[in-house]
Amino acid sequence: MAVKLGRLPRKENKLTLTLSKYLTTFTAPQALGWEYAVPNWPMMLNDQLGDCTCACAGHMIENWTTRTYGTVVPADQDILSAYEAVGGYVPGDPSTDQGCAITDVLNYWKSTGIAGKKILAWAEIDTANLNAIKQAIAIFGGIDIGFNVPQSAIDEFNAGKPWNDTTDTNIVGGHSVPVFGYGGLGCTAVTWAKIQSMSWAFWGKFVDEAYAIITEDWLTSANTTPMFGLDLPTLEADLAVLG
């Protein structure tokens, strides 16, 4: 299968919150899978363009809305519009297909919206703190991650295998995917129209940024959101400052 990457290196943004400020002490569930209520994951153009950062947002919208107030599947045009606005892509000009930084996409998602959906904020998570990663997935219904992709990961995906090889040093680009579930052996992402498993060893080797995405729909849906473990008053105060 033809696949594209497109995540540019991690980029600082003054609007980035730090998730550890809002997490209280609790043990995340041993295993969790938010992704299995969605029957179909569209490609969202990521086989043609390096728009993975925008496709990631689209898949997060699809998953959240499926579990809250009714499924919204962003159209390819929604994803393309975001990629054009953030990445400067010009349809028909391959030289402008250069990818995006995750935080630039998150900033656009907050200020302008994707598929008619805006986020309130985002908060960075220490990628080495797997308990915090699991907490964030449990509380926010998934996280947005960025990682460096070895050629072996492309080969594993095309072979229908989990991302597990940590020995390949041939990095072919950067990728952004949503992670909606986890267990003892690793986590589950969505990319290139499929659910893809990733071992914790692979995570430790290649993942270098992770963000909890804060959306009003998810936080206000009592049927989905485990509010334990989250200092909501402090978070709400900081959100008010961000505007």
98-147 pLDDT, tens digit per residue, is 999 999 999 999 999 999 999 999 999 999 999 999 999 999 999 999 99
Q: What is the CATH number for 109?
A: 3.90.70.10
DSSP 185: S
DSSP SS3 for 179: strand
Residue 7 belongs to some domain of the structure: no
pLDDT digits (tens, 9 = 90+) for 52-103: 999 999 999 999 999 888 899 999 999 999 999 999 999 999 999 999 999 9
Give this prediction's pTM: 0.95
- 163 in a domain, yes or no? yes
Q: Identify the domain containing residue 171 by its residue range.
A: 17-242
179 part of a folded domain: yes
pLDDT (tens digit, 9 = 90+) per residue, 168-224? 999 999 999 999 999 999 999 999 999 999 999 999 999 999 999 999 878 776 555
Query: Per the domain annotation, does 169 fall within a domain?
Result: yes
Rounded to 5 degrees, what angle do the CA atoms 112, 98, 96 make? Answer: 90
In a domain, residue 11? The reply is: no
State whether residue 199 is helix, strand or coil: strand
Q: Number of structural domains, the chain?
A: 1
Residue 60 lies in a domain: yes
What is the residue-averaged pLDDT of the chain? Answer: 93
Cβ-contact 40, 186 below 8 angstroms? no
Question: What is residue 196's predicted lDDT score, i.e. its pLDDT?
Answer: 98
Q: Per the domain annotation, does 12 fall within a domain?
A: no
Per the listing, tokens 């043990």 go with: 27
